[in-house]
Amino acid sequence: MQQLEVIKILKKDLNFNDESIEKLKKFVELVLIENKNHNLIAKSTEPTIWDRHILDSAQLVKFIDFNALSLADLGSGAGFPGLVIEIFNKNKDFHVKLYEKSLVKRKFLINVIKKLELNAEIFGDVRDEVLDTDIIVCRAFRKLDRVIQVSREIAKKPHKLMILKGQNAQEEINKTFKTKKYSYKLVNSITNAKSKIILMDIY
């Protein structure tokens, strides 16, 4: 899917407004410029950034309660999905926290937040921080068992956990939940028929 097609889906299916779309365009521009100097996203995904990164991140807004107080994005990288969610957010009291251990990526995120006037805060490695949040999201962060370990051992309870996963999602679930069972919901991704979103309530 190209930019215009993705924007159509963002507006029609996910309720992004014109102001949010303009911010996404600027965000994409900043990512592609910085990607010339640092590897924020794989070079091979640059031509499909709107589909592969923007829409993939944006689909999470369907599952997020923006009346909550805060959301944490673990391993935010170039800001996917955290900054895309913040660009969509219309509640001034809803706070996005980005956890990223790479100094280069943290500097990039700070620059984007400043230029786009976003309500987001940057933190370092999640293992060195206090994870006090209502919702945790992650994409390409770690294997499922490590994400759940962080969620259960570091984060406050209760919280919602939303994980964007590829085609091996069910396999990872089966492996992770072999000894301890957790209730979860598996939702199909709108960007790839084989990709999934894992939704969990952690108590």
Note whether residue 96 is domain-resident.
Answer: yes
Q: Is residue 27 part of a domain?
A: no
Q: Could you tell me the CATH number of the domain that includes residue 137? A: 3.40.50.150
Angstrom distances, CA of residue 42 to CA of 18, 29, 46, 167, 203: 28, 15, 7, 18, 35
CA distance 198 to 150: 16
The confidence score (pLDDT) of residue 142 equals 82
Type of residue at 169: A
Q: How far apart are the C-alpha atoms of 79 and 88, rounded to whole Å?
A: 13
Return averaged pLDDT per consecutive 10 residues of the chain, 203 residues in all: 96 98 98 97 97 97 96 97 98 96 97 97 91 93 87 90 91 84 91 93 91
Report yes or no on 33 lying in a domain. Answer: no
Q: What is the pLDDT of residue 143?
A: 85
DSSP state of 131: B
Asked, for residue 90, whether it belongs to a domain, the answer is: yes
Q: Which residue has the tokens 């794989």?
A: 42
Other beta carbons within 10 Å of 155: 20
Q: Which domain holds residue 153?
A: 60-202
Number of domains in the chain: 1
194, part of any domain: yes
Would residue 71 be called left, alpha or beta, if left means φ above 0 and alpha means ψ between -120 and 50 degrees?
A: beta
Domain assignment present for residue 43? The answer is: no
Q: Does a structural domain hold residue 9? A: no
Task: Give the closest residue to 133 by CA, choosing from 156, 114, 116, 153.
Answer: 156
Is 15 contained in some domain? Answer: no
